[in-house]
Amino acid sequence: MARLGIDVGGTFVDLVLEDENGGLFFEKVLAEPEDLVGAITSGVSAVLDQAHVPAGDVREAVHATTRGSNTVLERTGPSTAFLATRGFRDILQIQRALRWSMYDVQLGKPRPLVERSLSFELSERTLADGSVLIPLREEEVRAVAAEIRETGAQALAVTFLHSYANPDHERRAAEILAKELPGMVITVSSDVSLQAREYERANTAVVNSYIATAVSEYLRELVERLPSVGIDVPVWIMQSSGGLASMDQVLERPVRTLESGPAAGVVGAARFGSSLGYPDVLSFDMGGTTAKAAVVHGGMPATTSYFELQRVGNRRGSGLPVDIAALDLVEIGTGGGSIAEVREGTLRVGPRSAGADPGPACYGRGGTAPTVTDANLLLGYCDPSAFSGGITLDVEAAEAAVDGLAASLGIDRLRAAWGIHEVATLDMEHAIRLVSINRGFDPRTLALVCLGGGGPVHGPRLARALGVEVAVVPLAASGGSARGLLEASVSMELTRTSLLRLDDDEATVRCKAVLAELVEEAHRSSFRSGEEVRVVCTLGMRYVGQGHEFLVPVDVEQADAGRIAEIFEERYVQAYGYAEQGHPVEVVTWHVALVKQRAERQVTSQRASRADAGVPARRTVYYPETGLVDVDVHQRSSLRPGGVLLGPCLVAETTTTTVVLPGDEVEVAADGSLLVHVLGTK
């Protein structure tokens, strides 16, 4: 059977088709904003034609959508109302009140999705232990429903204090509101998040209601129109957690799809790593405007239960928080189009970007600012005549752009180009340290999987800086997110806040009970009985009295309280250098993911005496280790599994180039991946 992956990004729709023999075909079409579904269907036709696969052979389609996040970014959702516990209608206005840019007198707060005039409240109160202080009065709910009806709002979010501990009031209110307000999209907070911290949970409910209509209209149109190109099969949607969900599940909780696209890349990296024998990887996906990084441990991407939409410059508090299971990604404003400039006497790269239009100076579309891609061109890392998407690069324009920068720094052109490359790599290195070391993962034990157009160009250098021993460049790395879609599994994640001290007598019994309950709930809502699933369990733990949880993966079969506490302490010491000797440990959050098993791909190992079956070209390239040097440019399509190439050299393909550093060694894996072994020293 054939399978289809459809990844919608900012500028392009990436499509990938896997035929029944495991052959992969890629297609890229412009994401026309006026008729996105039309762009998708024409892309589907194109990739089927290219592969000579009849549409009827496609048994499954997997999709990553940005519709939800774009609705928030562009503020195109419907008029949305908010209902809270009396005294708390301003939760969305007050927020966490973090001064996210300390010295900026012109600072702004993230703009809420709900206007203050559409915020309502009613008398009810649940306490932190779940007990009810003030009962919900049904006639008051009906009265407030009438007020909300008057406003003409089309969507509504309800957040009562401590509903994570006892959701009764929210649920009862939702029943009454649904009756009183037919046609209204209603989300109650305990339905999308069971975590304490009222602002974050309230905002999650608001986002869910705000994007629901746009997401459902779009997905329905997609499902209606795919049959016109012969695709009439179930469409699975990538969630922010990296797992797939059915259309129905997504329509219930669209908020879970916000980070659909970025998640796909990480899922891909996890699978590429695992199939090559690297279960622990750093996923590094560098595109035109940003780079994204995430850690994968034991084949499973690290997850978080919190992220922010529209964050500015990676600063916490600058975006709208969402409490959902998401892959723990860090996004860096460094991409191929990032502009280099001198600020405060020092070279900086990004976050300003030349975007796709005008793009880097070398695109020849009128851009004059030097970008990362311009620098890479001048360093010899890209082929001017065969760049991604068939663009011919304008070397002179790149030179002129970089010369301006070089002059203001008082250095020569080549040094400036190297500087841009180096500073861009450094910024990414810092961001990666934050998601790895600070989460207790040592980058030196991870393999770096390089995706996106820029991943293979910067990856080997980044690997060296991080102390990583091997960088992996999968086939068609630049379309990594679309490929990741085909590697994802159907999954269901649940997170719950529930305190359990591990030194309690009954801790092991309770621990097993909570997990069993969550597993059962996840199973009931997503899988048919008897379906083969893998249970992945992660506990958010801390010393009693602390406020932040450290995520610790545990084996659900061996959920012994003492052992769990030991694992926690091991991780804690690794990260912070000490343990709180004898201090009790508690579990706060319980994350359970059920993942439908997928058959592992079989890859047979091969040996080749000569890596390159063709005749490599030569090009002059700059490395700080060697200065300007002539190196071989191997065509990726002519490389043979089992062969080894020695750096310095380049491996070129139509959409990207792998830059192999002096002293490093490239092994061509059986599946065609490049394994860049970092042997050279910094």
Residues 559-598, interacting with another protein (CB under 8 A): 575-578, 580
Tell the smallest beta-carbon distance from residue 324 to another protein (Å). Answer: 17
Tell the smallest beta-carbon distance from residue 70 to another protein (Å). Answer: 26
Q: Which residues are CB-contacts of 552 (< 8 A; sequence separation ≥ 6)?
A: 538, 539, 540, 541, 564, 567, 568, 571
282 beta partners: 295, 448
Residue 101 interacts with another protein (CB under 8 A): yes or no: yes
Residue 678 interacts with another protein (CB under 8 A): yes or no: no
Q: Which of 52, 74, 75, 117 binds another protein (CB under 8 A)?
A: 117
Tell the smallest beta-carbon distance from residue 112 to another protein (Å). Answer: 11
Q: Which is closer to another protein, CB of 196 or CB of 629?
A: 196
Half-sphere exposure of 48 (CA within 13 A, CB side): 20
Q: Which of 172, 253, 365, 433 binds another protein (CB under 8 A)?
A: 433
Residue 89 interacts with another protein (CB under 8 A): yes or no: yes
In what helix (H) or strand (E) does residue 275 lie, and over which residues does it extend? Answer: helix 260-275
How many whole angstroms separate alpha carbon 9 and alpha carbon 13?
Answer: 6
Q: Which stretch binds another protein (CB under 8 A): 194-202, 299-307, 329-337, 651-659?
A: 194-202
Q: Which of residues 316-375 bind another protein (CB under 8 A)?
A: 317, 343-348
Q: Which of residues 221-250 bind another protein (CB under 8 A)?
A: none
How many whole angstroms separate alpha carbon 250 and alpha carbon 623?
Answer: 48
Binding residues for another protein, rule CB under 8 A, total 71
Q: Which is closer to another protein, CB of 45 or CB of 338?
A: 338
Q: Which of residues 609-668 bind another protein (CB under 8 A)?
A: none
Tell the smallest beta-carbon distance from residue 681 to another protein (Å). Answer: 10
Tell the smallest beta-carbon distance from residue 432 to another protein (Å). Answer: 11
Residue 142 interacts with another protein (CB under 8 A): yes or no: no
Tell the smallest beta-carbon distance from residue 198 to another protein (Å). Answer: 5
Which of 628, 627, 625, 621 minimizes the C-alpha distance to 651? 621
Q: Which is closer to another protein, CB of 312 or CB of 535?
A: 312
Tell the smallest beta-carbon distance from residue 586 to another protein (Å). Answer: 13
Q: Which of residues 254-313 bind another protein (CB under 8 A)?
A: none
User: What is the per-residue binding string for another protein in 380-419, x denoting contact by CB under 8 A?
Assistant: -----------------------------x-x---x--xx
How many whole angstroms separate alpha carbon 572 and alpha carbon 466?
Answer: 21
Q: Which stretch binds another protein (CB under 8 A): 38-46, 104-112, 166-174, 390-398?
A: 104-112
Q: Which of 1, 30, 73, 98 binds another protein (CB under 8 A)?
A: 98
Q: Which of 196, 356, 400, 633 binds another protein (CB under 8 A)?
A: 196
Q: Which of residues 1-60 bind another protein (CB under 8 A)?
A: none
Reduced to 3 states, what is the DSSP secondary structure of residue 487?
helix
Query: 592: left (phi > 0), else alpha (psi -120 to 50), else beta?
Result: beta
Where are the strands (E) in 48-131, listed by range? Answer: 58-64, 80-85, 119-122, 125-126
Q: How many other CB atoms sit within 10 Å of the CB of residue 555?
A: 13
Q: Which residues are CB-contacts of 106 (< 8 A; sequence separation ≥ 6)?
A: none
In what helix (H) or strand (E) does residue 292 lie, and over which residues does it extend? Answer: strand 291-297
Tell the smallest beta-carbon distance from residue 417 to another protein (Å). Answer: 11
Amino acid found at 634: H
Q: Which of 38, 78, 109, 252 binds another protein (CB under 8 A)?
A: 109
Contact present, 362 and 373 (Cβ < 8 Å)? yes
Q: Which is closer to another protein, CB of 223 or CB of 432?
A: 432
Residue 128 interacts with another protein (CB under 8 A): yes or no: yes
Q: Which of 99, 142, 179, 444 binds another protein (CB under 8 A)?
A: 99
Q: Which of 21, 33, 34, 106 binds another protein (CB under 8 A)?
A: 106
Q: Which of 21, 34, 75, 103 binds another protein (CB under 8 A)?
A: 103
Tell the smallest beta-carbon distance from residue 200 to another protein (Å). Answer: 8
Q: Which of residues 522-551 bind another protein (CB under 8 A)?
A: 543, 545-548, 550
Tell the smallest beta-carbon distance from residue 647 to another protein (Å). Answer: 21
Reduced to 3 states, what is the DSSP secondary structure of residue 16?
strand
Q: Which is closer to another protein, CB of 52 or CB of 111?
A: 111
Question: Which letter, b or e, does each residue of 160-172 get, where b requires 16 or more Cβ atoms within 10 Å of its Cβ?
Answer: bbbbbbbbbbbeb
Q: Which is closer to another protein, CB of 102 or CB of 599?
A: 102
Where are the strands (E) in 65-212, listed by range? Answer: 80-85, 119-122, 125-126, 132-134, 155-159, 185-188
Residue with tokens 């910024």: 427
Pairing of strands 235-238, 58-64: parallel
Q: Which is closer to another protein, CB of 221 or CB of 422?
A: 422
Q: Which is closer to another protein, CB of 374 or CB of 653?
A: 374
Which of 352, 210, 340 minimizes the C-alpha distance to 289? 352
Q: Which of residues 153-182 bind another protein (CB under 8 A)?
A: 161-162, 164
Which of 639, 646, 640 minimizes the C-alpha distance to 663? 646
For 591, the token pair is 């994350």
* Distance, CA of 229 to chain centre: 30
Whole-Å CA distances, 363 to 255, 406, 494: 37, 20, 46
Where are the strands (E) in 79-154, listed by range? Answer: 80-85, 119-122, 125-126, 132-134
Contact present, 222 and 234 (Cβ < 8 Å)? no
